[in-house]
Structure 1
Amino acid sequence: MGNCHSDTAINTEDEDGSMPPSPVSIASHRFFNVRPAQIVHEASKSSFESCGISETKRLQSQYSYMSNLWESKFYSPINQKLRDGGMKVLDIGCGTGEWILDMAREYPNTKFYGLDLSPNYQTSSLPENVEFYQGNLLEGLPFEDVTFDFVHMSLLVRWLTTKQWEDVVIRELVRVTKPFGFIELMEGDLTLHNQGPVTMKLQEAFLASMHARGISPMIETIITRILTTNPYLEDLHVETRTGLLNKWDGLNSLENGLQVFKTLKKSNLEFMSVTSSEYDDMLTSYVKEVEEYNTHCKFYRFYVRKVDHANAHNHFNETIRSSSTHFRNASKSNPPSLSRNHSTNTNNIFSSSTSQTSRRSSLKTNSLRSVNSLKRYSSKQKL
């Protein structure tokens, strides 16, 4: 794997490291083969560009849509603390960095860090309270334990499997969050509502493709289960919004959704009995149906607080008792066709709760993988 670069996890020079490392800490948190970022090669470029829309433009359109939908950049109760300053905020999957840049302008006394797999973010003329990094969440966040007061992540449902959510993602977010800090996720279910007949066929193929990759379309259920059974989290709040897929508030979300189906054409066709030209015709019908049926999807904001390590054990026991009662009642009240799913979920809860040691071992292995193409950008760096 190459020579070891000792202590290459990024230290943001926070001095309140008096709390002991979280039990989900990654070994000694040393990363190997941390390399300068490389230009994303042609094979990894977004196929949105081949559809006539750049990835940057798509992400900007998506951000505008979500800003209008939620009418707030975050829901965690930290507004005054951000204004007071001295906080550190991490945005994972930051995309073009618009959320961070907007937040940095509104809260100039707070430090903001962005991380994304692809360098779509601005790299010059950055505010002094903004830094961007390129790296892979699934290989371990390149930050020390208990570094951030607020960790934010959004719209990664199409890229993360259920197992990755369970084994890596939430655990890493918890690890880098300070006690009493907040974690906030914004995601959308992959299922559409009020579908026309053609849209339904496209949706079925899309869901089959996601299922083949281990990705659950019902992200609200997955995230709620993981957050409520994590012994280091408490006070979960979930907010829901309905997002129309047609032209809405002057924002053409229809075009964005259409480009998604165009991009997924190859994978969707593997689960459909239609030709390439017939698929294109279906997209024309999709545009009409979205307007006619008011097709929409559900979006969710989850925000939760990390507990003090000293109280984690008691909180863990209370969480398990509560989850056990909830799922026993759920299995009784649901028809037989659903009880198997609830039984499976219950087993997953207890296996995730009682196998902390094996998961720590798994994450220790992950920590020895390289954080691909990590690069730090700051306003002081000349590019």
Structure 2
Amino acid sequence: MGVNLSLPKNKRKKTKDENSIHSIDDVSKKSSVNSEQKHEFNYIGGRKFYDSNVAPYVLPADIEEDDRIHQQHFALKHICGGNYTAPIHDIIKPGSRILDLGCGPGQWTLEIAQEFPYAQVYGIDISANFPTSIKPSNSHFIVGDVTKGLPWEDNYFDFVWIRYLFVGIKDADWQNLYHEVKRVLKPGGILEQHECDGLTENPGPKLKKILYHINEGLTSNGLCFRLACQLSERITMAGFKNAQPSYISTALGRQGGKIGEIWAANLREGCGAMKPWLSKLAGLTDTEYDLLIQYIFDYEIEEYSVYHNHHIVWARKI
């Protein structure tokens, strides 16, 4: 599952005409783009994954995964008490611009566009799984690989949002990406990032085994399993000021109440989504893998009082 993505060679502004960036209207109209995208995927165990030479993303790129991400969005919105924690009401004014970096199917983008109808809200993702027509008029979607540079001029955005991209951005690409985010942010603009720690707290022996192999798979793809614990340091190294780190713990299963059950169900689906490659790393048949995941989420998370940490950092460009 190795990857070979190149870093951008300079900081110049890219245009929408370049091959790596397509507006959503272009994607929906040009068959050449759709045909090209067919060759970017591998089908493993009935699920569609990005070819490792295109992107290091270890989760599927299909409708089932989009459904899981939607569920994840609503769970995280509840866990974090809203769609953001930074004081962005102080900076978002008529004409402001907001960027959802790695927007996935676009739920956060759409909700923020509704909350701030006087701002322009952009979502960018390597996969065109976001809505093309039924959406607020102030929401815009772009197809692009963010590790190859952002297609906007300097000092363009007031707020940049990143969430749960540790499974899709190579460790070696993060610092360059932070510098690109800083470039496109206006002075006084805010970056906010949310990531979950790859490790859960108090894992039982069977969950430890799965986490070991998830870490193995991510590391072989050049990804950082515990990026969440390093956010503040990395963002500060990129030149952002006054980083405000925090984290929220969520108990899994019944011990965490309704949201704990929802979050456990989401993690369970995530493990199911990774089964085509994770079962092989663990040396298990599909049936053995299914039984192991069932045991972990039906019994072990309750027995060991497992919980998960969600790390949050926001910082300003000065």
Residues 259-298 of structure 1: pairs in structure 2 closer than 5 A: 259-287=269-297, 288-298=299-309
Counterpart of 2:242 in structure 1 is 235
How many residue pairs get matched? 281
Cα 1:268–1:108 shift into 2, 3 Å: same
Counterpart of 2:221 in structure 1 is 213
The C-alpha deviation readout for 1:180-202, integer Å capped at 9, x for no partner, is 11111111111111212211111
SS at match of 1:225: helix
Residues 195-214 of structure 1: pairs in structure 2 closer than 5 A: 195-214=203-222
| CA distance in 1 between partners of 2:89 and 2:196 (Å) | 24
**Structure having greater relative contact order (Cα 8 Å, sep ≥ 6):** 1
Structure 2 residue 228 is the aligned partner of structure 1 residue 190: no
Give the drift of 1:100.
Answer: 1.8
Amino acid across the alignment from 2:129: N
| CA distance in 2 between partners of 1:235 and 1:279 (Å) | 45
Amino acid across the alignment from 1:304: A
Structure 2 residue 104 is the aligned partner of structure 1 residue 107: no
Q: 1:186 touches 1:299 (CA, 8 Å); kept in 2?
A: yes
| CA distance in 1 between partners of 2:222 and 2:103 (Å) | 23
Q: 2:14 touches 2:149 (CA, 8 Å); kept in 1?
A: no
Q: 2:65 touches 2:273 (CA, 8 Å); kept in 1?
A: no
Residues 343-358 of structure 1: pairs in structure 2 closer than 5 A: none
Counterpart of 2:3 in structure 1 is none
Percent of aligned positions with the same letter in both sequences?
A: 25
Report which stretch shifted further, 200-209 or 285-294.
Answer: 285-294
Q: 1:48 touches 1:54 (CA, 8 Å); kept in 2?
A: no
**Unmatched 5+ residue regions in structure 1?**
1-23, 308-383
Q: 1:46 touches 1:55 (CA, 8 Å); kept in 2?
A: no
Give the drift of 1:265.
Answer: 2.5
The C-alpha deviation readout for 1:272-324, integer Å capped at 9, x for no partner, is 344443222211211221233232221111111111xxxxxxxxxxxxxxxxx
Report which stretch shifted further, 135-144 or 254-263.
Answer: 254-263
The C-alpha deviation readout for 1:55-94, integer Å capped at 9, x for no partner, is 2211110101100100121122221432x42211011111
| CA distance in 1 between partners of 2:270 and 2:217 (Å) | 13
| CA distance in 1 between partners of 2:146 and 2:102 (Å) | 8
Cα 1:43–1:240 shift into 2, 3 Å: same
Report which stretch shifted further, 43-52 or 288-297.
Answer: 43-52
| CA distance in 1 between partners of 2:205 and 2:131 (Å) | 41
Cα 1:48–1:269 shift into 2, 3 Å: closer
| CA distance in 2 between partners of 1:93 and 1:102 (Å) | 15
**Unmatched 5+ residue regions in structure 2?**
1-8, 28-32, 48-59
Cα 1:182–1:42 shift into 2, 3 Å: same
The C-alpha deviation readout for 1:220-254, integer Å capped at 9, x for no partner, is 343222212223x1010012011233264356222
Counterpart of 2:178 in structure 1 is 170
| CA distance in 1 between partners of 2:10 and 2:308 (Å) | 36
Give TM-score scaled by structure 2 length.
0.79
Q: 2:99 touches 2:123 (CA, 8 Å); kept in 1?
A: yes
Structure 2 residue 52 is the aligned partner of structure 1 residue 55: no
Q: 2:13 touches 2:152 (CA, 8 Å); kept in 1?
A: no
The structure whose Rg is larger is 1
Counterpart of 1:27 in structure 2 is 12
